[in-house]
Amino acid sequence: NGVTHLDVAVIGTGYVGTTTSIAFAAWDHKVIAVDSDQMKIARLNQSILPFYEEGLERRLERYRESGNLSFTDDLEQGITRSDVLFIAVGTPSSPDGSADLSYVEMVARQIGQMMDKYKVIVTKSTVPVGTGDKIKSIITDELKRRNLSFSFDIVSNPEFLREGRALYDALHPERVVIGCETETARKTMAALYEKVEAPMLYTTIRDAEMIKYAANAFLATKISFVNELARLCDKMGTNIMKVAEGMGLDSRIGPQFLRAGIGYGGSCFPKDTAALLNLAKEQETMLPVLQAASNVNRTQVSWFMERIHHIMGSLAGKKVTLLGLTFKPETDDVREAPSLKIIEQLLQNKAIVSTYDPQGMENVKKIYPQVAYKPTPYEALEGADAIILATEWREILDLDWTKVKDLIAQPYLFDGRNALVPSVMRNLGYCYVGVGIDGRG
Ligand code: UGA
């Protein structure tokens, strides 16, 4: 039927690697996913994901059974059996904010040590501009050492999927960005994405690397912009939700990523903005807009907690129930979640903290064992003097708020995501406080 089946290895089975593997398997390529973590591979071989993501496990099982997808901890096997190698290992933040490339560089070295013929080597991990060049020189050095002289191509193909919607985003991307510099690489990438209807943008490797950072930095800036305005709205008696709605109807602005709240978290925005700022610093270039966006995000939880103190006075000895822990709904990811800063500040202020989250409790328990983790939201809410909503899980928004009212000691409800309907909550008797919607705080 004219469709090309490619042999693909995806190195790294984190969020991006696993989802990418499943997407390529769905498009009928033969995928070997590789990870050095044997436990992880053993579980993936039983179709168990290392993280929670709706719909992904069923697909995993399906493509393992169809033979399109397999998992191994043997990198050499992954490398020698495939024509296209995706690097999807982690790029955590170093203490100075720069991206730590040690995993990427280690994989590049191993590829150079093990490859046996021409390959297309693609970065999926989010990496600083210039990483493609680095990978190229590492592999070239290794091949020289082995007295081998066949060629290879480097491609940058950043991933734009969102956690919680990973499968959908991977299967239906809005665009595919390919940074490549040879015709062979371009043809291979076109064949890989043959079944995708989205626009394909071909650029240089460095441009593709920059696009990924630029897109995340811009989205983070959009959020910080409304969060900053929300602070003013609170002083002025204006409503940021209405203001954002009015702004978003302008197609040049667009309605998305204008929801004010307690700030962005997750494994991407905080890390990628820090990495881009660091990259700029190395080039002795200022990015004042992005710097400001990052500052607003860093202080947004404190600003919100100030409001709580202003309304409630001292929190010492008060029982505070935190609803939602993950950095956003539909994930178990708590990396850089605003809820962690909230817990930190509540504990500092000697509040008694109880919490409920549909997926995130195990991950937070490891960091804050002194918080009470409850199996149901209602148990977490018993006797509460204040409720803080930190993640807008459907299950939390859909609580029986009349029943909740009878369980709590005082009706203070602080909605850190502007996710509940203020008039409804106030009619039920709550003292409802959102972010930039109440005025004169
Ligand atoms: C983000 C990007 O949206 C993806 O396109 C990108 O691929 C990914 O990073 C990545 O680099 O891997 P993700 O971190 O999964 O995806 O989550 P988002 O949906 O972007 O949310 C990030 C944070 O912003 C969350 O804490 C969310 O609560 C917050 N947010 C989002 C707001 O506070 N307001 C908004 O209007 C939107």
> Mean pLDDT across the stretch 204-233?
98
pLDDT at 406: 97
d(CA 337, CA 329): 11
Ligand 1 atom closest to Cα of 164? 15
Domain match, 55 and 179 both: yes
Distance of CA 323 to the CA centre of its chain: 20
pLDDT level of residue 441 (50, 70, 90 thresholds): very low
Percent of the chain with pLDDT over 90: 97
pLDDT at 4: 81
Domain match, 425 and 314 both: yes
Name the phi and psi angles at 33, rounded to 5: -100, 130
Domain match, 426 and 349 both: yes
Return the active site residues: 268
Residue 134 in any domain: the answer is yes
Domain match, 320 and 365 both: yes
**Residue 440 pLDDT > 60:** no
Which residue ranges are tagged as binding site?
35, 40, 91, 126, 160-163, 212, 257-261, 265, 271, 328, 335
| ipTM of predicted complex | 0.98
Domain match, 157 and 279 both: no
- Arithmetic mean of pLDDT over the chain: 96
pLDDT level of residue 439 (50, 70, 90 thresholds): low
For residue 27, give both structure tokens.
Answer: 């498009």
Residue 352 in any domain: the answer is yes
pLDDT in tens, 107-144: 999 999 999 999 999 999 999 999 999 999 999 999 99
Say if residues 322 and 343 touch (Cβ distance below 8 Å). yes
| Cβ partners under 8 Å of residue 309, min gap 6 | 315, 349
- Give the count of beta carbons closer than 10 Å to the beta carbon of residue 70: 20
- Whole-number Å distance, alpha carbon 161 to ligand 1 midpoint, is 9
Q: Which residues line ligand 1 (CB under 6 A)?
A: 126, 159-163, 216, 219, 223, 257-259, 261, 264-266, 268-269, 327-328
pLDDT in tens, 18-60: 999 999 999 999 999 999 999 999 999 999 999 999 899 999 9
d(CA 310, CA 194): 57
Out of 68-77, 94-103, 385-394, pick the least confident.
Answer: 94-103
Say if residues 438 and 415 touch (Cβ distance below 8 Å). no
d(CA 123, CA 282): 22
Residue 232 in any domain: the answer is no
Atom 1 of ligand 1: nearest residue by CA position? 162
Atom 12 of ligand 1: nearest residue by CA position? 268
Domain extent, residue 300, equals 237-433
327: nearest Cα among 417, 407, 388, 224: 417
Tell me the Ramachandran region of residue 104: left when phi exceeds 0, alpha when psi lies from -120 to 50, beta otherwise: alpha
pLDDT level of residue 438 (50, 70, 90 thresholds): confident
Ligand 1 mutation target, pool 213, 243, 328, 415, most atoms within 8 A of CB: 328
| Cβ partners under 8 Å of residue 198, min gap 6 | 172, 173, 174, 175, 176
Domain match, 132 and 279 both: no
Residue 230 in any domain: the answer is no
Distance of CA 186 to the CA centre of its chain: 28
d(CA 194, CA 163): 24
Residues in the chain: 441
- Whole-number Å distance, alpha carbon 264 to ligand 1 midpoint, is 7
Residue 424 in any domain: the answer is yes
Residue 150 in any domain: the answer is yes
pLDDT at 1: 46
d(CA 381, CA 409): 9
- Whole-number Å distance, alpha carbon 341 to ligand 1 midpoint, is 18
Domain match, 257 and 342 both: yes
What's the burial of 179, exposed, middle or buried (CB within 10 Å: 0-12/13-18/19+)?
Answer: buried
Residue 231 in any domain: the answer is no
Q: What is the pTM assigned to this prediction?
A: 0.96
Ligand 1 atom closest to Cα of 327? 26
Say if residues 222 and 230 touch (Cβ distance below 8 Å). no
> Mean pLDDT across the stretch 310-330?
97
pLDDT at 140: 97
SS3 state of residue 33: strand
For residue 395, give both structure tokens.
Answer: 């299950």
d(CA 295, CA 201): 32
- Give the count of beta carbons closer than 10 Å to the beta carbon of residue 206: 17
> Mean pLDDT across the stretch 3-23?
94
Domain match, 247 and 190 both: no
Percent of the chain with pLDDT over 70: 99
Q: What are the CA-CA distances from residue 274 to residues 100, 280, 292 (Å)?
A: 12, 10, 12
The domain tally of the chain equals: 2
- Whole-number Å distance, alpha carbon 371 to ligand 1 midpoint, is 26
**Residue 314 pLDDT > 60:** yes
d(CA 429, CA 16): 44
Residue 15 in any domain: the answer is yes
Instruction: Report which secondary-structure segment, H or E, holds 186.
Output: helix 183-192
Which residue ranges are tagged as binding site for substrate?
160-163, 212, 257-261, 265, 328
Domain match, 52 and 171 both: yes
**Residue 250 pLDDT > 90:** yes
pLDDT at 165: 94
CATH assignment of the domain containing 363: 3.40.50.720
| Cβ partners under 8 Å of residue 118, min gap 6 | 83, 150, 151, 152, 153
- Whole-number Å distance, alpha carbon 268 to ligand 1 midpoint, is 7
Ligand 1 atom closest to Cα of 336? 26
